[in-house]
Amino acid sequence: MDQPSAYAVILAAGSGSRLAGAGLAVKKQFFEHRGAPLLWHCARAFARVARISGLVFVAPPDELAAVTALLGDLYARENLGLPYQVVAGGERRQDSVLQGLTAVPREVRFVLIHDAARPFVTPKIIEGVVDALMNGSQAVLPMIAVTDTIKRVRGGLVAETPAREELMAAQTPQGFVRQALAKAFSRALAEDWQVTDDASLAERAGVAVSVVAGAPENMKITNPEDLRLLTQDAPPFPMPRVGFGYDVHRYAAPGQTHKSPPRPLKLGGVLIAGAPEVLAHSDGDALLHALADAMLGCLGEGDIGEHFPDSDPAFEAIESGILVSEVLRRFAPARLAIVHVDLTVIAETPRLAPHRHVIRDNVADLLGLALSQVNVKATTEEKLGFTGEKKGLKAVAVVTAVTV
């Protein structure tokens, strides 16, 4: 079963009036930092979160064509692996959010709204918002503690000093159950509300807003002095890690005695009815064995033979999905997240076309990935070699992971 999908709406329709007044030649969301505009740094962060399945960019209405062309060029140079749309924004921030929300596919359950002027957002912050939504929150707001003493001022005089421990600063991305945000917008339009952020709109509509941890570095580029942050040293965009896995299993020959017992053929955790049996110490799922090896390759931790040796009785007939889950548990402590999996089965028999989609669903569910992040395919060796002679099958896996 596929994970509930989440889209990010990246707001890049603002005028950037403070920076424009300081003589900045371009709007801040298009200001280049380390070879890419600020909105692209935001997009990269979302692309590194496995549960984000698409992006919507909201552009200034008078620059829609230019922004569409810009993003087309950026995707041609660096495909983030996510579908995207570009739409025109509105006069106010809330109008732009509504335009972005309307462009999100109807089947998407969760929506995260993010300011393009916050280019230092991290996958950890995004993951925190998505986790809260998946755990039942209707609206989620990343926040940080206020360190300055805040005063309420009226007519040039201090009127009140709120307790600092009760104050927090709101950040983005702000996450919502899509239906809850849509209902809040319906009321906002009917009653002509004016709000400064999306969580305020949800609050006013009676939606409980949960708080998760933001980060001080996730600040908004607003004033000319903020541009100094773009000239400070920052860690480079992390290189992906790619792991390769390969496994082979022999088919059981009828009437012959073998060292390893015959097992019903399973691929990707799916039982393939009517297929030849395979010889294996575990359950003989070559595809999941290759996947586990590729995952260990990303981690730099050897292969499954080291971690789950066939000489150990504890692993006799064990489900390969358990082995994959055990390897997956190592990713979070290593600060790695899987972003894509490509799997290939090489066999003359059985025919895998009828099973491919079920295998893909099962692998995506096992890894907690969206279907768009998992590819499964099958091929033959044109009747050559032992697979061509129907003596067995091979499986190959390539796993891509990034640091988080």
How far from 186 is each of 125, 182, 189, 190, CA to CA, in Å? 28, 6, 5, 6
Q: How far apart are CA 100 and CA 90, in angstroms?
A: 10
Q: Tally Cβ neighbours within 10 Å of residue 216.
A: 11
**100: phi > 0 → left, psi -120 to 50 → alpha, else beta; which?**
alpha
Q: Who contacts 376 (Cβ-Cβ below 8 Å, separation ≥6)? A: 268, 343, 344, 345, 356, 359, 360, 363
Beta bridge partners of 138: none
Tens digits of per-residue pLDDT, 245-278? 999 998 888 766 556 677 888 999 999 888 888 8
Grade residue 231 by pLDDT with cuts at 50, 70 and 90.
low
pLDDT tens, residue by residue, 305-317: 888 887 777 777 6
Residue 402 has pLDDT above 70, yes or no: yes
**CA-to-CA distance for 38 and 88, rounded, in angstroms?**
18
Question: Residue 228: which pLDDT band, with cuts at 50, 70 and 90?
Answer: low
**How many Å separate Cα 341 from the centre of its chain?**
13
Checking if the pLDDT of 226 tops 80, the result is: no
How far is the C-alpha of 359 from the C-alpha of 324, rounded, in Å? Answer: 14
CA distance 130 to 139: 10
pLDDT in tens, 89-142: 998 889 999 999 999 999 999 999 999 999 999 999 999 999 999 999 999 999
Lowest mean pLDDT among 9-18, 214-223, 395-404: 9-18
Beta-carbon contacts of residue 219 (< 8 Å; ≥ 6 apart): 118, 120, 226, 229
Residue 397 has pLDDT above 90, yes or no: yes
pLDDT at 1: 43
Query: Distance (Å, rounded) from C-alpha 106 to C-alpha 111?
Result: 11
CA 313 – CA 125 distance, rounded (Å): 42
Cα–Cα distance measured from residue 136 to residue 377, given in angstroms and rounded to the nearest whole number:
35
pTM: 0.60
Q: Tens digit of pLDDT for each residue in 384-394?
A: 998 888 999 99
Residue 21 pLDDT exceeds 80? no
For residues 204-223, give the mean pLDDT.
90
pLDDT at 42 over 50: yes
pLDDT, tens digit, 9 for 90 and up, residues 315-350: 776 888 999 999 999 998 888 889 899 999 999 999
- pLDDT of residue 3 exceeding 80, the answer is no
pLDDT band at 23 (very low <50, low <70, confident <90, very high): very low
- Find out whether 39 and 31 touch, Cβ atoms under 8 Å: no
As a whole number, the mean pLDDT across the chain is 87
* Domains defined for the chain, CATH in brackets: 6-230 (3.90.550.10), 241-403 (3.30.1330.50)
Which of 193, 15, 11 lies closest to 112 in space, CA to CA?
11
Q: How much of the chain is helix, strand and coil, in % rounded to 5?
A: 35, 25, 40
pLDDT confidence bin for 22, thresholds 50/70/90: very low
- What is the average pLDDT across 237-243? 79
Give yes or no for residue 293 having a pLDDT over 90: yes
- Within a 13 Å sphere around the CA of 2, how many CA atoms are in the beta-carbon half? 18
